[in-house]
Structure 1
């Protein structure tokens, strides 16, 4: 059985109950809360935000995504509980926070000062592939703007949106100037200094025709597309043409599948394959690093426990799959793949090629099995950095140089580049970096993700491993 195999692995001296308790303490301290990416759907009253977000959530969930949602309620004093219910009585008695729990559901009602920032709400919603936010235009989130022809306010916004596009004003412009008139389209100086109050009089004098032509114009400046607008959903032709001029994608109101494609491609959390490189027998260690005992368990188990929670797919590259088969019974929920080297010669770059070839997801985190304090939080931070930067490699860098074996790789870009480097006879892990887009992840960012540090410490000899184990148990 898996347990029997694990017992044989530990036969060379188990540190005992104290070590196991310390390991459990370490696991609790290193639980990883995976941040959720978020996207806001914004529009004016009666634009159809709720209908759109409802349809989009249903489509994303049908595609296998875990979706959270946030609804901005602008009215002060709304309540989601009502008199007579026990939970309402708890709060009426003075409880500042009440949790309502039932099979399959839980709700939390908490009294707060003022209005909670959207960013704080999203930050508390861990582990979703995407959080869809209704409202919160000023949250700083990327936004999808909805404009519907049947809504007068939307039609007015579309006019202003189109006028700004024709005049060449960038998204994010202070569109309140439209209420006083705009400078002419060819007035580059005025256009470049729109927000400069010294230009206000000139703007009013030179562009008053817009206000004159729209006497029913109302102040909609706080409800206009901004530099955070990433897509427009509309049935107004003028808005479609404006979006095209701004190079912003637009979708029909009923094109939910197309909108979901866009959201999945650009905003849904990318799937991450975590690859633990276990290799085989280590000459300096005198035995396989994967099965050497550390704090009451095989070292490979420690790595799986630390990295498994942040993996969508977990692979261990090894030349001793039979000796590591006990992992399937030890971690049945992870469905671990044991993969042998793709080449019959050793080296860092061939090992990286094996990892990338075996991975099934677009992002691939590669970690060496002797990194005793490998960090799931760092893996998450690297994935977010890759998503934001568009890089092909996110690699920690410090005074010792690159740390390619606790880095993140974009599979489709890196696999052919690694193969080309191997064909040139290269063996070093970073030999292909000049052929791809590399984002250097600085030490300050590493410590922000993993304040305890030590992510790149590895053990090559029994003495080094023993020293690390002692410091771990003492800590």
Structure 2
């Protein structure tokens, strides 16, 4: 079973800012659009339980079980004892296969963050004032405002420092009635607004406060109203939801060095193409196999009926990597196109997803792994709209190499470190060109 990592973002705000209501509406809208959504709720207090004392599962835990699974038709819950508090990244890593995971809280997780500020909430209003003041004075988004309030603001910014001091004093309640430390103990959600300001990870603001809208505009961050759930969903869908990907497996046909079609050569007792399909299907919203022998691969429809595989002939009579890439791009139904050669025995669905998320983030036209051997264009991701015209133009010039058009589009180089982060086992680009190479790979596979 290949676990596809889920992209995630966090929605944060102060106590009573409306986080849960907004998240509920955003999840409903994303699900309505056909996305699989997971969610995480950060509970700041020690000790909670999802089961009722006296119930059987509760009694299991009370007896000392460190992990209890509660299972019923259509539902399952797990309560597990852990040391300390898990990092948000570890929690999300344990939730593979979602199009997006929406996290409530975990401001310091490093996730892309959507900040909520509501006019009816006094703490939000104070934060909005400080947020706007920092934006007006050109402080970088994510400035450590705590340092400014402790005297680190340049002399010219005395007025700003004093405004921040007043805001923090206000956030502690009536000055003189309780010390700051006592207030932090009694009111942890309101104690120190400098720790609850937008950070460098803030990617959007949801607010009805004019000062917050002003700050967002100065920082170049989009701002949405509380009722604009559709607009917020559009933003999340465009930048953070797992993109829809067409996976194209290139299986051109006869291979002179292999002595027969690579697609149908036996591997571990089955045609090699079956292994590649099974490895890449988890990352495919649409699966295409480009081949000059569709009649010999028709058995795949019966083998994988749920995948609705398209078998597509090359659109060009001439052979070459670039014409094959053009066929892949033309046959794709989705905006992102992963192209993988059928002889890459350890092709990785996780790498495809990581490349798609990098394309989402970077806006690049090509996300291509790069190592000491150069580019790996046949385990790369292509933006159909940006690449197809450039590929056609390169073919018209007589080019045949896959990367011959890279100079005309925006290319994101996916480093070896990032490849290994996505696929720790490595080996994604190993291919078999001869029976001897394939046999060696088969022996390695069977030994594992």
TM-score (norm. length: structure 1): 0.85
Q: CA RMSD in A?
A: 2.2
Q: 2:275 is matched with which residue?
A: 302
2:360 and 2:165 map into 1 onto residues whose CA distance is 46
**1:133 match: secondary structure:** strand
1:306 and 1:213 map into 2 onto residues whose CA distance is 58
Q: What does 1:197-208 align with in structure 2 at a 5 Å threshold?
A: 199=154, 202=155, 205=158, 207=160
How far the C-alpha of 1:39 sits from its partner, in A, is 0.9
Conservation of the 8 A alpha-carbon contact between 2:126 and 2:167: no
1:450 and 1:159 map into 2 onto residues whose CA distance is 45
TM-score (norm. length: structure 2): 0.90
Q: Say which of 139, 154, 172 aligns to 1:169.
A: 139
User: Structure 1 residues 450, 119: CA separation in 2 closer, same or farther (over 3 Å shift)?
Assistant: closer
User: Structure 1 residues 242, 444: CA separation in 2 closer, same or farther (over 3 Å shift)?
Assistant: closer
Q: Say which of 15, 35, 48 aligns to 2:5.
A: 35
Conservation of the 8 A alpha-carbon contact between 1:90 and 1:98: yes
Q: Say which of 126, 147, 150 aligns to 2:96.
A: 126
1:211 and 1:473 map into 2 onto residues whose CA distance is 65
Map Cα deviations across residues 178-234 of structure 1 (whole Å, 9 max, x no partner). Answer: 6568xxxxxxxxxxx74xxxx5xx478554653697696224211211111111111
Conservation of the 8 A alpha-carbon contact between 2:4 and 2:349: no
Q: 1:281 is matched with which residue?
A: 254
Map Cα deviations across residues 269-297 of structure 1 (whole Å, 9 max, x no partner). Answer: 11121111011222333322211222211
Say whether 1:62 aligns with 2:32. yes
How far the C-alpha of 1:124 sits from its partner, in A, is 0.8
Say whether 1:361 aligns with 2:314. no
Map Cα deviations across residues 230-289 of structure 1 (whole Å, 9 max, x no partner). Answer: 111111112111211111111111000000001001111111211110112223333222
Q: What does 1:399-418 align with in structure 2 at a 5 Å threshold?
A: 399-418=372-391
Structure 1 stretches (4+) deviating beyond 4 angstroms?
177-181, 203-209, 211-216
Q: Say which of 64, 87, 90 aligns to 2:60.
A: 90
Where structure 2 has 5 or more consecutive residues not aligned to the other structure, the ranges are 172-191
Where structure 1 has 5 or more consecutive residues not aligned to the other structure, the ranges are 1-30, 182-192
Q: 1:264 is matched with which residue?
A: 237
**1:275 match: secondary structure:** strand
Mean Cα deviation higher: 74-83 or 170-179? 170-179
User: Structure 1 residues 214, 79: CA separation in 2 closer, same or farther (over 3 Å shift)?
Assistant: closer
Q: 2:181 is matched with which residue?
A: none
Q: Say which of 220, 229, 245 aligns to 2:218.
A: 245
Map Cα deviations across residues 445-472 of structure 1 (whole Å, 9 max, x no partner). Answer: 4344434433323223334333433443
1:128 and 1:67 map into 2 onto residues whose CA distance is 6
Map Cα deviations across residues 311-360 of structure 1 (whole Å, 9 max, x no partner). Answer: 11111001111211110110111111111111122111000000011112
1:460 and 1:120 map into 2 onto residues whose CA distance is 39
How many residues matched? 428
How far the C-alpha of 1:401 sits from its partner, in A, is 2.4
**1:316 match: secondary structure:** strand
User: Structure 1 residues 422, 79: CA separation in 2 closer, same or farther (over 3 Å shift)?
Assistant: same
**1:283 match: secondary structure:** coil
Say whether 1:439 aligns with 2:386. no
How far the C-alpha of 1:416 sits from its partner, in A, is 1.2
1:121 and 1:390 map into 2 onto residues whose CA distance is 27
Structure whose alpha-carbon radius of gyration is higher: 1
**1:51 match: secondary structure:** helix
1:160 and 1:318 map into 2 onto residues whose CA distance is 61
Say whether 1:48 aligns with 2:18. yes
Say whether 1:455 aligns with 2:428. yes
